[in-house]
Amino acid sequence: MGTTINLNVHNFKHWLGKPARDFDVLRFDANNNCNIHCVYCAIQRSSELISFDDFRIFLSESIASAGVFQFGCQMEPTLDARLCDFMTAVSQSPAKPKKLFRLQTNAILLHRHDHGRMLEAGLNFLTVSMDSVDSETF
């Protein structure tokens, strides 16, 4: 049976070296920051990043398969200049999702990334969050 995890800078080291397993949903944040400071968000931020080399080790050793792979869960993935590199690594690994390859973003910095590379990696779902504390605007 598969599982769902939110993989981030706080728990990534825990998953390194684990035996390969099936994941129904894997949500991944390579960075621990966001470019918006929403008034309702109490998540602590830092400049901490997940090493690309460690990520590749995780992909090759700790994943047997993935149904859904999502970049962005709590933090903003487009802040990380390595975003397309991470996507390509997923596409060339057992983590290549069988169902959905998703990017969750506020899209403010999406223009800084190579959309062609994202499509080549297999990205097939883009979720853009548009939040407001004003209910009429929301």
Q: Where are the domains of the chain?
A: 4-128
Percent of residues, the chain, with pLDDT higher than 70: 95
pLDDT tens digits for range 30-42 = 999 999 887 777 7
Structure confidence at residue 133 (pLDDT) = 64
Query: What DSSP letter does each residue of 11-71 carry, written as one string?
Result: THHHHTTPPPEEEEEEEE-SBS--S---TT------S-B--HHHHHHHHHHSEEEEEEEEE
Structure confidence at residue 41 (pLDDT) = 78
Residue type, 38: C
In contact, 102 and 70? CB cutoff 8 Å: yes
Structure token pair of residue 63: 């994943």
pLDDT tens digits for range 84-103 = 999 999 999 999 999 999 99
User: How many CB atoms neighbour CB 136 within 10 A?
Assistant: 5
**The domain over range 4-128 is classified in CATH as 3.20.20.70:** yes
Mean pLDDT of 109-121: 98
Q: Does residue 1 carry a pLDDT above 80?
A: no
Q: How far apart are CA 123 and CA 115, in angstroms?
A: 9
Structure confidence at residue 137 (pLDDT) = 65
Q: How far apart are CA 4 and CA 2, in angstroms?
A: 7
